[in-house]
Homo-oligomer: A and B are copies of this chain.
Amino acid sequence: MQKQETLSKNQKIILDLIEKSDQPLKAYSILFDVKKKGINAPLQVYRALDKLVEIGKIHKIESRNAFIACKNSKCQIAKATVFSICESCEDVTEIHDHKLSEHLKDFKDNKGMKYNKYNLEFFGLCKKCV
């Protein structure tokens, strides 16, 4: 079997749900919501999430254990993610800043490490919560 071009049934159900939300969803809240569609077990959710992260359709917000859809068509692989997170209302926004990306992409440490991925999370207060 070749690399799938289309998503599987469970993957579609779960991606749909995440895309409808503009905020990150947690795995067990997703599970709760998709029970009516016949997805009954955590593992079914986590498997779909893993795949969706792998192909860049969603990203994991590591500090929150939550998953958000990627709205950037260019971002086909979850290689380089930047988020801002409001510590008061928990609003999360994906950031696409060319200059910042360039700096991060080109970053080299002094240990000869070869990077293929990074994740950056900014924390603070959004406009509403200041």
Contacts from A to B (Cβ < 8 Å)? 62-63, 84, 86, 93, 95, 97, 100, 103-104, 107, 109, 111-127, 130
Copies of this chain, tallied across the complex: 2
Bound form: Cα–Cα A113–B87 in Å: 11
By the criterion CB–CB under 8 Å, are B109 and A113 in contact?
Answer: no
CB-CB nearest in chain B for A116: B124
Task: List B contacts of A97 (CB < 8 A).
Answer: 107, 109
By the criterion CB–CB under 8 Å, are B93 and A114 in contact?
Answer: no
CB-CB nearest in chain B for A102: B103
Bound form: Cα–Cα A63–B104 in Å: 18
Bound form: Cα–Cα A45–B130 in Å: 33
By the criterion CB–CB under 8 Å, are B111 and A118 in contact?
Answer: no
Which single member of B62, B93, B100, B111 contacts A126 (CB below 8 Å)?
B111
